[in-house]
Amino acid sequence: MMDYTPDIVQVVPHEDFTVSVYFCDGKIVRYDVKPKLGKGVFKKLSDISFFMERCKIMNDSLAWDVTGNNDPFECIDIDPDFLYSLDYADEQIAG
């Protein structure tokens, strides 16, 4: 088991409510938000514009900036250890 989780260097949201998460060690995972849509704090992510436009790296993890002010306390973020534990995903090249 690793003593640390590599840093997230890029997040790329997709219109199918998934996000490609790129780690500094080269690992890429695909996080699927669909099972959480409509539940609790994740209700905001049901709006595809919000999902796509507010997706970024905050608190050293995949996050959505709720206020648009880059406030680290006003975001929906996903535990980076959990993200790193996901299976490797193929890189999605824009075409």
Residues 32-44: pLDDT tens digits?
A: 999 999 999 999 9
Over residues 75-81, the mean pLDDT reads: 96
Q: Please tell me the total number of residues recorded for the chain in this structure.
A: 95
Residue with tokens 């790296």: 57
The C-alpha atoms of residue 92 and residue 20 are separated, in whole angstroms, by 8
Residue 16 predicted with pLDDT over 70: yes
Query: Is there a contact between 17 and 33 (Cβ–Cβ < 8 Å)?
Result: yes
Tokens encoding 50: 């919000």
Query: Is there a contact between 88 and 29 (Cβ–Cβ < 8 Å)?
Result: yes
> Domain spans of the chain?
8-85
Query: Is there a contact between 50 and 62 (Cβ–Cβ < 8 Å)?
Result: no
Task: Output 78 or 95, whichever has higher pLDDT.
Answer: 78
Domain 8-85 is found in CATH 3.30.2020: yes
Tokens encoding 62: 């995949």
| pLDDT confidence tier of residue 49, bands split at 50, 70 and 90 | very high
Tokens encoding 56: 């970024």
Quick one: pLDDT at residue 95?
Answer: 44
